[in-house]
Amino acid sequence: MPLSNSVQRSLPSLLILVALAITSLPARAAAPVAEPFGQLPDGTKVELYSLRNEAGFRADIITYGGIVVRMLAPDRGGRMADVLLGQPTLERYLAGSAAAAALIGRYANRIADGKFTIDGMSYSIPPNSKGGGIPALIHGGKRGFDKVVWAAEPTTRDGQPALRLRYTAADGEEGFPGRLQVEVLYSIERKHGLRIEYLAKTDKPTPINLTNHAFFNLKGEGEGDILGHELTLRARRYTPANAGLIPTGEIAPVAGTPFDFTKPRLIGERINADHEQIRNGRGYDHNFVLDSQDGSLALAAIVREPASGRVMEVLTSEPGVQLYTANGLNNPRGGKAGKPYVRFGAFCLESQHYPDAVNQPAFPSAILRPGKPFRSTTIFRFAAK
């Protein structure tokens, strides 16, 4: 049956409305594409994936160590800058870069003397750190997750580019019990943010503490120190540490100490204070007990850089965050831009379970058991004001 004249006259308008509705839908980005990033001495190839959104935010990730090698964020004038310390080549990372935004595991941070007990079974792993003359196992051992090549699956999440990385640590790897299957999903948010989701399963009880050790400077990579950055932490307590930066077991209030960032304070304001804990770390290298302790995704920290206007928020489901102010950083060669990396030239906010939690009954448990997957989410979100 032929259309009436009135319907025929209205068709062009209807088609225009449909076209406008379609064009107003959010664009769905394609999965990232692999690019070569060198190879290991044994011939294993390493790939780079660039995650970008329509707003210009970008994060480049390599399969070696799951390292985020670059992160571009805008200032208040809309100018993009790389706010992440890192190296331009795989060879430089293999040479031992001290400022890699790598995935850390099986247990991030420290375990006192490399010893712990699970269900009456004792384990002893050779320490790989001796800060303050006190031995500790740090960041998973000599060959932690930051030094392996992860299997990559480019994908999307909520219509934005994403990268799924997988690695299986064998039972006994680096001395840890249990075959641990780990999956990490990096994804870009629609505005300016990088989401990191962790999933792990084990076949035996095992310690677990997964994080990303990103070194940030909101002025830009290699642009001097971060002492003028303003920091707020949603943490009214912290865990004091001994000279080896291993927690003493105490959970102490930050009030009245250089660790009180419950209101905005400059990072450098009290970084040289005559305080035992500051002396132990030569600056900040301490675990903060977040106010949110129920495992939900919550705001943990806000960092603002006044000159550029860049603001970074850290949201996490973890109970703690390690503030590290690159106290030992001293690399005249620098990184991607060739500018020197100096002491206090970056800050880290590592979402985590507490250091040495496997030996501290008062801390939240860091033991993963079969049948109960480990799940954790952290978001680094950027804005400019």
Instruction: Identify the pLDDT of residue 322.
Output: 98
Give me the active site residues, please: 213, 350
Residues in Cβ contact with 360 at an 8 Å cutoff, skipping those fewer than 6 apart: 247, 249, 354
CB 385 within 8 A of CB 376: no
3-class DSSP state of 273: coil
Query: Can you spell out the DSSP letters for 42-71?
Result: TS-EEEEEEEE-TTS-EEEEESBTT-EEEE
How far from chain centre, in Å, is Cα 239?
20
Enter the tokens of residue 136: 């500790």
CA-CA distance, 18 to 14, in Å (whole number)? 6
Question: Which residue is it, tokens 């999956």?
Answer: 183
Confidence at residue 19, expressed as pLDDT on a 0 to 100 scale: 41
The rounded distance, in Å, linking the Cα atoms of 116 and 179 is 18
Q: How many CB atoms lie within 10 A of CB 193?
A: 22
Q: Would you state the structure tokens that stand for residue 202, as one six-digit string? A: 């084990």
Cα distance between residue 2 and residue 56, in whole Å:
50
Residue 6 dihedral angles phi and psi, to the nearest 5°: -65, -40
pLDDT of the residue at 191: 87
Residue 29, pLDDT score: 73
The pLDDT value recorded for residue 28 is 62
* Residues 95-108 as b or e (16 or more Cβ within 10 Å = b): eebebbbbbbbbbb
Asked if 341 and 99 touch (Cβ cutoff 8 Å), the reply is yes
Contacts of residue 347, defined as CB under 8 A and 6 or more positions apart, other chains included, come to 215, 216, 217, 226, 229, 231, 267, 303, 323, 324, 325, 326
Ordered domains of the chain (ranges, CATH): 34-384 (2.70.98.10)
The pLDDT value given to residue 49: 98
| β strands within 226-318, DSSP E | 230-233, 237-239, 252-253, 265-266, 285-289, 298-304, 310-316
pLDDT per residue as tens, the chain (385 positions): 444 554 445 544 544 443 444 344 445 678 999 999 999 999 999 999 999 999 999 999 999 999 999 999 999 999 999 999 999 999 999 998 767 999 999 999 999 999 999 999 999 999 999 999 999 999 999 999 999 999 999 999 999 999 999 999 999 999 999 999 999 999 999 889 999 999 999 999 999 999 999 999 999 999 999 999 999 999 999 999 999 999 999 999 999 999 999 999 999 999 999 999 999 999 999 999 999 999 999 999 999 999 999 999 999 999 999 999 999 999 999 999 999 999 999 999 999 999 999 999 999 999 999 999 999 999 999 999 9
